[in-house]
Amino acid sequence: MKRLRVLVAVGVLALASAGAGTAQADPSAWAPGGTDCPAAEIFATDNTAVITDPADPRLRTRLKRFDHEVREIIRSHGARPGASTLLDGVFWSENEQQTTYERSREFDVEEVNADGLHHIADVIRKQYRQESVLTFRCLPRTSPETDAVEIQAEGVSATRLHDALMADPVARVRLGGGSVALDGRLILIAPIADLTLARKFTARLGVDWNSAEVRYGDEEFVA
């Protein structure tokens, strides 16, 4: 998805690739461990427009048909669909020098390996005409494939996320943005190389790091 649209265009894909070589970075002195992590996650949308108005009615869709269709794609390609979460995303476009809003879904995927996950994401990308689809495989922190973290924390709104991005030019370029579930749960995926930056950014959002959940794994923008 276009990180769900524009993030790939502004260089997050390059940052993720650079982060893959820094998996040896050891934040264990302060990073809490994640629990209840699915085998993999897919972040996707069927939107192809750039939305700059937070009051745009397209941001109120619940993507129910999309939810059903993606579950069928996951199932038909040999994996097992798990829970699906509706998300409000806020992302920064370096090219356009503006924030972009996105309504999307996160899909838990079980019984899938790396190749299978890549294939499913590519099918979704092509079917919904997306520039890319973001995937995250949960892995042990010490795995040689681990190159990213997924940070989840309660008590964050899309508006607060937007304001924090606008106030932090470094974070908005290097992290690109993030998503918030309708219950106020922040979901932020970042390369391990930018874990310290991500921690500082979440603090500006009012997140208590001791209550945040950090999952380690492998991220991929399937493009």
Per-domain boundaries in the chain: 2-222
What is the tens place of the pLDDT at every residue in 16-26?
333 333 232 33
56-81 b/e (C-beta count within 10 Å ≥ 16 → b): eeebeeebeebbeebbebbeeeebeb
Interval 166-170 mean pLDDT: 93
Q: Structure tokens of 131?
A: 């520039």
Predicted TM-score (pTM) of this structure: 0.83
pLDDT-above-90 percentage for the chain: 73
What is the tens place of the pLDDT at every residue in 89-105?
998 877 778 888 999 99
How sure is the predictor about 61, in pLDDT bands with cuts at 50, 70 and 90?
A: very high
Say whether pLDDT at 3 is over 90.
no
Instruction: Out of 26-35, 37-46, 68-77, 196-205, pick the least confident.
Output: 26-35
How sure is the predictor about 131, in pLDDT bands with cuts at 50, 70 and 90?
A: confident
Distances (CA, A) of 122 to 4, 14, 47, 73, 102: 14, 19, 16, 11, 20
